[in-house]
Amino acid sequence: MENIIKDIDIISAEEAQACDYKTTEDENTGKSKKLYIESYGCQMNFSDSEIVASIMKENGFDTTSDFEQADVIFLNTCSIREKAELTVRKRLSQFNAIKRNKPEMTIGVLGCMAERLKEKLLEEEQIVDVVVGPDAYRDLPNLVATAEDGNKGVNTFLSREETYADISPVRLNSNGVSAFISIMRGCDNMCSFCVVPFTRGRERSRDPHSIVREAQDLFDKGFKEVTLLGQNVDSYKWSPEENNKARLNKKEGEVTEVVNFANLLEMVALISPQLRVRFSTSHPKDITDEVLYTMKKYDNICKYIHLPVQSGNSRILELMNRTYDREWYLERVAKIREILGEECGISSDMIAGFCTETEEEHQETLTMMDIVKYDFSYMFYYSERPGTLAAKKYKDDIPLDVKKRRLNEIIDKQNKLSEERNNLDIGKVQEILIEGESKRSTEQLKGRNSANKVVIIDKGNFKKGDYVTVKITDCTPATLFGEVVS
């Protein structure tokens, strides 16, 4: 689910490992204090920052885009690779100077790094006042108030129930067209390289009613696209008995049966044909034919699947504890092609240089890419994370220069495949949803087709939020260009 909203561009091994962040924007509703949040990592974290902003808003804070104006600064952090943590450490040291001039300012570290390091962060980073894990955000106002009185605080309690279902997120950095909805939290998969199960806790699914309500509310406010988010959306499962015995009543409209991901997709798709539905991330072991048929049934469910393979070699996949092998993955891709056709976009995440990976095994990742023909990928070299199964069991034995060389080969391959796939779109007529102005010209607009590719068109009389039918005329590896079909 890494950086899923980033436009694809040609990147290097160094850039692939780097970490972007998003900040809050200025909002002035007359509250007495200002909150600045900087969010790192995946879309789940960005979505959490919207929940945090909502909780703080209820407690007297407007958001700001200028940290120098802020009474409270939160860094919502990521631990996925070492680089992600180092970026935050560096940022904290930059905030030191500001805090020296404004000692009353509260600085909080939230998210995955907070959960991983707990009290240690207070010891190691003197500047930090509060450390709060992803399941403890309701406690933030309380902890901030305590910090204002000069007492540092930590809450990294991981919950089995918390889904923040009742909290309406404040939409940060939103283009007013598409929004993200968290449908589940945590992860039970224990991929051996991954820190997420430790930082996000056990997997739990959110009440489908609250999801549909949130999507409906967004649609009523003019949004045209929602992306359902989870580390493993295909294992979404909500049963009233398990999740909340108190809800087991027969009120009208109350769901009393188990809802799986295909059911949930359908419930959201039915809100309106004018509301596009996307989702991320799909784990190859869990994506079912039922989900694929539901995607086929509704035009407004976008034909795009982020299906991270990580490696194309079965031995490495086993060491990674991904619980599928090369053949299983290829069978799932064949099913996607059979049910949804060639035009369905497929993207992936790749890890180069996992423990003990041989040159031949690395080659299998490249041949996997050739067979699947991914539209794009998020590509990384392996970064050992403390406490994970891989860190305990296997030696991180691939030298950094080899990891980087393998990663560059994967990136080169992906750039070629992206161009090849984009070329196939030339001449096709597609519906795009306009998201705003193109980055390069105010005379052009940027939209996305169903397969999640960016399409640039001349502005004409169109505006953000319009659905426009276009014929694709040209492409680069990263972008399609289209002409409006009248």
Can you tell me the distance from the alpha carbon of 2 to that of 378, in angstroms, rounded to the nearest whole number? 7
Query: Among 113, 380, 456, 457, which residue sits at the site for ligand SAH (rule: CB under 6 A)?
Result: 380
302 assigned ligand-binding residue = no
Give which of ligand F3S, ligand SF4, ligand SAH, none residue 351 binds (C-beta under 5 to 8 Å, depending on kind). ligand SAH
Amino acid letter, 164: Y
Please count the residues of this chain forming the interface with ligand SAH, following the rule CB under 6 A.
Answer: 19
Answer for the pair 211, 218: CB distance below 8 angstroms, yes or no. no
Q: Which is nearer to ligand SF4, 189 or 438 (CB)?
A: 189
- The mark string for 183-202 relative to ligand SAH (x by CB under 6 A, - otherwise) is ----------xx-x------
In the complex, least distance from residue 242 CB atom to ligand F3S, rounded to whole angstroms? 24
Answer for the pair 86, 113: CB distance below 8 angstroms, yes or no. no
Residues 15-74 that bind ligand F3S (CB under 6 A): 41-42, 44-45
- The mark string for 236-275 relative to ligand SF4 (x by CB under 6 A, - otherwise) is ----------------------------------------
355 assigned ligand-binding residue = no
Can you tell me the distance from the alpha carbon of 323 to that of 194, in angstroms, rounded to the nearest whole number? 14
Answer for the pair 287, 234: CB distance below 8 angstroms, yes or no. yes
Asked if 231 touches ligand SF4 (CB under 6 A), the answer is: yes
Amino acid letter, 445: L
Joined together, the tokens standing for residue 1 give: 């689910």
How many alpha carbons fall within 13 Å on the CB side of residue 137? 28
Asked if 76 touches ligand SAH (CB under 6 A), the answer is: no
Residue nearest to ligand SAH (CB): 349
Please, which residues bridge with residue 380 across strands? Answer: 351
Answer for the pair 329, 287: CB distance below 8 angstroms, yes or no. no
Give which of ligand F3S, ligand SF4, ligand SAH, none residue 197 binds (C-beta under 5 to 8 Å, depending on kind). ligand SF4
187 assigned ligand-binding residue = yes
Supply the DSSP string of 208-269, one letter for each residue.
Answer: HHHHHHHHHHHHHTT--EEEEE-TTGGG-EE-HHHH-GGG-S--TT---S-EEHHHHHHHHH
Give which of ligand SAH, ligand F3S, ligand SF4, none residue 383 binds (C-beta under 5 to 8 Å, depending on kind). ligand SAH
In the complex, least distance from residue 280 CB atom to ligand F3S, rounded to whole angstroms? 12
Q: 327 in helix, strand or coil?
A: helix
User: What are the residues whose beta carbons fall under 8 Å from the beta carbon of 317, sequence distance 6 or more?
Assistant: 310, 311, 324, 325, 326
Please count the residues of this chain forming the interface with ligand SF4, following the rule CB under 6 A.
Answer: 10
Scanning 54-62, 91-99, 137-145, 186-194 for contacts with ligand SF4 by CB under 6 A, the matching segment is: 186-194
Asked if 184 touches ligand SF4 (CB under 6 A), the answer is: no
- The mark string for 195-224 relative to ligand F3S (x by CB under 6 A, - otherwise) is xx--xx------------------------
Answer for the pair 98, 67: CB distance below 8 angstroms, yes or no. yes
How many alpha carbons fall within 13 Å on the CB side of residue 333? 25
Closest-CA residue to 95 (of 123, 67, 69) = 67
Can you tell me the distance from the alpha carbon of 449 to that of 421, in angstroms, rounded to the nearest whole number? 14
Q: Which is nearer to ligand SF4, 195 or 302 (CB)?
A: 195
- The mark string for 168-197 relative to ligand F3S (x by CB under 6 A, - otherwise) is ---------------------------xx-
User: What are the residues whose beta carbons fall under 8 Å from the beta carbon of 294, sequence distance 6 or more?
Assistant: 262, 265, 266, 269, 301
User: What are the residues whose beta carbons fall under 8 Å from the beta carbon of 397, sequence distance 6 or more?
Assistant: 355, 356
- The mark string for 197-226 relative to ligand SF4 (x by CB under 6 A, - otherwise) is x-----------------------------
Joined together, the tokens standing for residue 168 give: 């309406």
Give which of ligand SF4, ligand F3S, ligand SAH, none residue 377 binds (C-beta under 5 to 8 Å, depending on kind). none
- The distance between the two most distant Cα atoms of the chain, rounded to a whole number of Å, is 65
Residue nearest to ligand F3S (CB): 41
194 assigned ligand-binding residue = yes
Scanning 218-226, 375-383, 455-463, 477-485 for contacts with ligand SAH by CB under 6 A, the matching segment is: 375-383
Q: 328 in helix, strand or coil?
A: helix
Asked if 8 touches ligand SF4 (CB under 6 A), the answer is: no
475 assigned ligand-binding residue = no
Q: Which residues are annotated as a binding site?
A: 42, 78, 112, 187, 191, 194
Residues in contact with ligand SAH by the rule CB under 6 A? 1-2, 80-81, 193-194, 196, 231-232, 281, 283, 308, 310, 349, 351, 380, 382-383, 385
Residues in contact with ligand SF4 by the rule CB under 6 A? 187, 189-191, 194, 196-197, 231-232, 283
Residues in contact with ligand F3S by the rule CB under 6 A? 41-42, 44-45, 78-80, 111-112, 195-196, 199-200
